[in-house]
Amino acid sequence: MAAHEDVSREATFGSLPVTRDERVWNFADFTWVNVGLAIATWAFLVGGATASLVGFADGLLAMVIGNAIGVVIMLLASVVASQRYGVEQYTVLRSVFGFGGVALIVFTVILFTEMGWSSLLSVMFGRAVSQVSNEALGTSIDPSGLAVTAFALVAIVAAWVILAKGPLTIRFFNRIVAPGLAVLTVGMLVLVFTETSWSQLVDAAPLAPFEDEGLNFALAVEFNLGVGFSWWPVMGSLARLTTTPRAAMWPAFIGLFGATILAQAVGMAAALTLGDSDPTVWMVPLGGAWLGALALVFVAFANLTSLASIVYSTCLALRQAGGHLLTRVPWPWLCAGFFVLPGVLAFFPGLLYDQFLLFVTWTGAFLAAICGTVIADYFVLRRQRIDLRGLYGHAAASPYHFTGGFNVAALLSTGLGALTYVLLYNPQTLETRPAFDLLTASVPAVVVAAVAHLLLTALLVRRAGRGGYDAPPAPVAERSGERNG
């Protein structure tokens, strides 16, 4: 690739800061971007999983509480700094975790989170196509059968082809899928209420609850908190293209809270009405053979574009965090490498798909702790001021080099936050402490990570004069701007 082309890619989508001319999204534009992001097939999965724990009224309450808290904390930890400095979030994170620390987080938490979501979407594609085949061709493909694996692998290859063609192809498909999913959501809402009355819906029993009602509600809230946090890996990179802080924050909240709740609630109502948490099972009973099959084909197609969007942002993050090693890897090869684990997981279709709740809560444990650390660092310790040049400085020339490229205080704090989560609620064993029923696990994880970061930074980093926390006041131009905020 010619050097000029590579710069062009970096400038438009990479880690370089954007100038004012390049900030193209106003309030309305960014609202549509977020509504399109929120109304995706995974919202139906979340609605179905919530219905397995609680009924409609409690489920709606859990969705509102969980998403409100999760989305606000997630947005404060991703959107604000990226918007102000016009820099994607993995570059901004250098000021929190150090250059090496960001790589550590990207190659562990982010990589496995996004690989998990990719696996889920490819299996959902496989199950949707299987359902269409069962309906149209009279086959009887098992939801965990080899045919689902084969279709999931087809989804991965198709997503890779879309990705290899670049972001314009993804944007083209998203322009079809986002409005289509909105129509599908409204259509499902109408069909659900022609099948069942409001009182039947409210009285419908949860699908697979535990004996303790309080625990079911707390788990539903915790699950929806995890859903709110799960947007974190992609939001900062989008927000840098917005024109003002308000044009970044509130459209993101409207989309990721408002539109998500609507789509999740429709999914929950469908699950409670039809007695199954799997969205690919709903379409035919709701819409009849042809309409249902058509809806499933669209769901399968929508999953392809979601898959491509997720992998695109993750591979960009990998490239930036991987330094010279990954910058030299051709884009199609990098994307292909990402798909290896989802490809292997396709051979076990039920592993993540049937354990969706577990997957979301596990990833939520780490994302909540990261958010707590980032908020404490950016809002409290740095008072919303970052040295933009320092984000791009080499090694010891940057204040964000910390100790050998790692901010030990931030990494330890994140670890402590995640540990707090697991002590209160272990997603694997489902073991909980009494405090979990009232506090959840994510909220204490955020608080512990934030407080630990404040204390550990004072003890380990500031004393050593590292991290640029005690840098001289910002230039006059910047300080005068704060009076305008």
Partner 1 sequence: MDDVDLEVSRELERRLAVIDDEQRRDPHPPFPRSDLLVLVAIVVVSVVVGLIAGLG
Give how far Cα 122 sits from Cα of 67, 129, 256, 356, 399, Å: 25, 11, 22, 13, 42
Smallest distance from partner 1 to CB 422, Å:
20
Round to whole Å and give the CA distance between 367 and 377: 15
* H or E element, residue 236: helix 232-239
Backbone torsions φ then ψ of 74, nearest 5 degrees: -60, -40
Smallest distance from partner 1 to CB 392, Å:
6
Dig out the tokens for 155 from the structure. 């989804």
If binding is defined by CB under 8 A, does position 16 make contact with partner 1? yes
If binding is defined by CB under 8 A, does position 218 make contact with partner 1? yes
* H or E element, residue 297: helix 279-321
Smallest distance from partner 1 to CB 96, Å:
16
Tell me which residue has tokens 């606000």: 72
Round to whole Å and give the CA distance between 477 and 154: 54
Binding mask 457-476 for partner 1 (x = CB under 8 A): ------------------x-
Binding mask 315-334 for partner 1 (x = CB under 8 A): ------------x-------
Round to whole Å and give the CA distance between 267 and 97: 38
> Using CB under 8 A, which of the segments 107-115, 360-368, 381-389, 462-470 binds partner 1?
381-389
> Using CB under 8 A, which of the segments 3-11, 124-132, 286-294, 395-403 binds partner 1?
3-11
Comparing CA positions, the residue from 214, 250, 217, 209 lying closest to residue 59 is 217
Round to whole Å and give the CA distance between 183 and 169: 22
If binding is defined by CB under 8 A, does position 214 make contact with partner 1? yes
Which member of 61, 326, 419, 423 binds partner 1 (CB under 8 A)? 61
DSSP 124-181: HHHHHHHHHHHHHT-----TTSHHHHHHHHHHHHHHHHHHHH-HHHHHHHHHHHHHHH
Q: Closer CB to partner 1, residue 3 or residue 137?
A: 3
Which member of 138, 434, 473, 485 binds partner 1 (CB under 8 A)? 485
**389 residue type, one letter:** R
If binding is defined by CB under 8 A, does position 258 make contact with partner 1? no
Round to whole Å and give the CA distance between 159 and 141: 23
> Using CB under 8 A, which of the segments 187-195, 418-426, 438-446, 457-465 binds partner 1?
438-446
If binding is defined by CB under 8 A, does position 428 make contact with partner 1? no
Which member of 32, 68, 258, 403 binds partner 1 (CB under 8 A)? 68
If binding is defined by CB under 8 A, does position 140 make contact with partner 1? no
Which member of 161, 296, 440, 465 binds partner 1 (CB under 8 A)? 440
Point out which residues bind partner 1 (CB under 8 A): 3-4, 6-7, 10-11, 16-20, 58, 61, 64-65, 68-69, 72-73, 75-76, 80, 83-86, 214, 217-218, 221, 244-246, 249-250, 253, 327, 384-385, 388-389, 392, 437-438, 440, 443, 475, 477-478, 480-482, 484-485
